[in-house]
Structure 1
Amino acid sequence: MIAPPWLEVLDDTVRACAAHRRPDLAERLQVRRARLVDPKLRVVVIGEAGQGKSQLINALLNAPICAVGDDGTTAVPAVIEHAETPIATVVTGGRRALESASRTPVPVESVTAEANREARSVSGPPVVRAEIGLPRALLAAGLALVDTPAGAGAELVESMAADAVLMATDATSELSRSELLLLKQVARLCPTIIVVLTKIDLVPGWRLIAERTRALLDDGGLMATVLPASSSLRLAAARSGDQALNQESGFVELIRCLHQDLAGQAELLARRSVATLTGVTVESLLTSLKEEFSATQQQGSEEAVARWHAEGRRLERLQRDAARWQTLLSDEVSDLLSDVEFDLRDRTRKILVEVDDYFDTADPARTWDEFETWLRENLEKVAETNSEWLLDRFEWIARKVGRRVAPHRPDALPDSLPREVPGDAVGDMKMPKVERFGVGQKLFVGMRGSYSGLLMFGLATTLAGLPLINPISLGAGAAFGAKSVFEERGQRLKRRQATAKTAAHRYVDDFFLTYGKHSKDTARQIHRALRDRLAAVTEELRAEITDSAKAIKQVIDADAARRTNRAQEIRRDLDELTLLSRRAQSLAGMRPRQAPRGLTA
């Protein structure tokens, strides 16, 4: 047996819901499919409270089965089907598996009142619905009426499984905003809608209200039939058998519509229902897919792209800073060498000034050992102080440059710098050769001076008649001899002092050259070590940034590839769903041989 086209469309829609991971939509369509393949025609009656909905069903079936009045407001659905004898039950317990629910027989005339009472009770199992069977010709053709509670979404739940919907609204005014909203929601679930304008016996100008109602439906894009009816006239006609009154009640046209236009057009109703449900379902799937497709067209993760750009800027900044810190290091080391040399020169110059001052009075022949010890200690102190200052300054330079290169890398700098002073910075100092003024030399110098004085004054005194050697010449000779010894001793002391100064100056110059060479060598060695270490750290940072940028780029590329592939899949899915929607629209466009009055295919 070949399945009808609408069933194929419905099954394809169910498969589409499953493929797009929407089991909620698939379950809803499966329930609707079970209803559609059922030969019974399910008509759901909806309406707001006080609009005569339950009384409409009573008048339609000519039986007081639905509770009416303020105390009889419908609380649970009531399903009325054909039965050979009147029967009614209240279903409690399971909402999903009605087969396992409990059914309690209740008199037909009180079943809805009992169901309403139990539904409002806080104790006992929940009431699912009331089931009623009546021997009526209208129901014998397979028609099933469902009375629904007003509000709480019950109308929409029952409309999902409806073949047609009857909405009761009284003729005192046109459709309210809430009723129009309800109809629009119902139309998305069941496209076949009949609006029954009730209580026309109470409103003389009901025809104007009917026209306004049709205008509101047209303005809202709702394809619904509007039928006026009076339940009171219908029940009165049934009691009296007055056919004219029954005709005036409007129920003749309503029954004809239900019995012929609806029950006789099951195929059309199925096509329209499937077309509407498929359209709504496909629209829901398309909305999700379009949103996802729009997301795939967006640039990848903004955070990842921002991180990738940040890593690129960081690499560029690192490359610029590499040249800058090398220039900075070279400049700082050059300034340091100049300052260190000046400091060494200034300290040694001060020592030489003290040496000159010292040997202006001291005799190196007597104090040389003490002087040598003092000079060595001072030069060693100069070497130690200058070396400490050099290394302290280098550590300051290293921290300054290190902050430029890698502020967050404590291992960017060496743990320590060499601080030893060279052992040969202060070499051995030999005492210079100095003349010693011994006794023999003193005697010789004294005799030479005495002879000059004796001879000079002896000759002078001979003019006075005194002999060459006389007391005056002898005294002068002794004075001149002592003077010669004193002068010679002073001259020899000055020569010794000059020699000592020269030796000290030479020694300090040698120290300056030796230690100065060591100081510069140490500075250059530390400079190279620091430069190489910072260059290695810079290279590590460059490699780290490059690897990080590559990893982020791979993530971005992978995400872009995934989004591209997903976009292609979505395009295919969109095409398939669009084709499915067109198939559903073609179902709605298929006209039967005889279209029902008031219904548009």
Structure 2
Amino acid sequence: MPDFMTALDASSHLAEGKARGDLTERLDGVKKLVGQRSCTVAFVGEFKRGKSTLVNALLQTAVCPVDADIVTGVPTLVRYGETLQVLAHARHPGSDDVTTDSLRLEDLAGVVADGADRGAGELFSVEVQVRHRLLRHGLCLLDTPGVGGLDSVHGQLSLASLNAAGGLVFVTDASQELTAPELDYLTTAVGRCPRAALVVTKVDLHQHWRRIVETNRGHLQNAGLDLPVIPVSSFLRLRAARQPALNAESGFEQLVGFLADVVRRTTAGEASAVAHEVDFVTTQLARQSDAERVVLARPEASAAVLDRLGQAHQRAHSLSAPSAAWQQVLNDGIQDLVADAEYDLAARLRTVLRDVKDIIDESDPKDTWEDTQAWLRRQVAEASVANRDLVVRRANQLSDAVAEQFDFESGAGVELELEAVSRTLADLEIPSAATFSMPGGRLGSVLSGGRLAAYVPLMALSLALHTTVLIIPPAALLGALLGRLIFRMESKKQRSYRQGQARTAAAKFIDEIAFEMNKDARDGLRRTQRRLRDEFQSRAGSIQASTGAALDAASRASRLDPAARQARAAELDEETRQLGDIRDHVRALASPVTPAAAVPVGSRAERATGG
């Protein structure tokens, strides 16, 4: 990255010399991103597997609460900071505004614990900044809530966040081999974040940890997962702060090596993006030099060169117009994607609603509603993540389609947030079974019970008055049978009514989820549309400025006398050499890690504008 920063500075100097403020601004934006670069590694696993202790041991600093009775319920991000600082990010009900409050480290446990009272605001993440050499180059450690199995709400939302993570550490312990839900979750997670490792904690507490580790390796092999399996002892790592010799025995050396490799690979991707930007800028700067050189070398062809440059400038101007073809592709694509996303979500939630109605019809909500609620939340979370994946995939395809229409690679992915979905799942309440009652509320139940209580003896008395004493026992039996039948009918009636209320509650919950998710998708796609529009519009403006500058420079060169031409040609040779050196340098830096980076972004755009 220092070498890339040198190349960025050199490119900025050349752009300033040509009064190209647009290109200088682009490079300043790249410098800012490079300075703020980060690589997030998510620590994921079931509850009480030692994730928080693992993070603390890795940094040899108590940054995550690890009390025996604490279960992490809020994601905690640990990043580099010059001073120790704890920041709580919250959102208040009915508002999208985010508030950030400072906390004391000793108060963190009471905030991140699952089920903790966090006041009126909804705490959605905590950030801990700590000065540690392991974090100095952008590594961020994300301690996630326990997933509770592949089909849990936490599990589904954690899966959705892995697309943006640079690496994954799946944490289990040496008390038992990987369970089927853990293996299923890990398989799905690796599909989203391939840079993953399985860490087995608590090897110091279990005598047969080696057998567990080998068994887990076999499970991974059978599942087709080629991941490193790293057994560690957090206890020994924490002791190593005072006795460094214990580091090797703790197993953390291999984990640190894995994290370093993740950071290197993430940095390689950033290097490719920097190389693309520098290549685009140098290509634009070279337009003016190349046009002048052609005119100076062949004065007799000046008229033809100026004519071609004029045509190229007109084509570049058309790229910036609202009626440009890429603008139409973008606008139409966003509209189609919004409609498809809403249809996909409606289809998925309709399936969930149909299934939950079947479950309700087969049981009495009075006894099963709590389990049904949990199942419903899991299914809605799964549907939301699948819908988000569709939106992100289609948005990336749209980005590529617009780039193809613009005739150069965009070099930027699309990232959509799932904040509204997780917020909705947390905020929306499903009525409890205690609220399901017959019409009339408590008075209705009392009247219904009174009718049943009075009907049976009245029936028996009526029969007794019209018969002899000898047939009173049969009359009583008949009254009992009729009473039992009436009780069954009344119980069935009440159960049917509770089922109706449960179906209504489930439908209302799904409708509100759909409303929030559709709004979230539309907002995300609008942001994507603006981001793509601004990026391509900026590039179109730079290309237009480059072709205009090339046309002006060529026109000036055509009017120079022979002596001035020779002097100017020498200046352009030096300028071309500098641009070539910068371009070759960044390509060489990027090509060992990402060969595709050697294909310049600007080359296809150059052809599109006749350069």
- TM-score interval for Structure 1 and Structure 2 normalised by the shorter chain: 0.3 to 0.5
Q: What is the TM-score normalised by the length of structure 2?
A: 0.39
- Could you say which structure has the larger radius of gyration? 1
Greater RCO between the two (CA within 8 Å, min separation 6)?
2
Q: What is the TM-score normalised by the length of structure 1?
A: 0.39
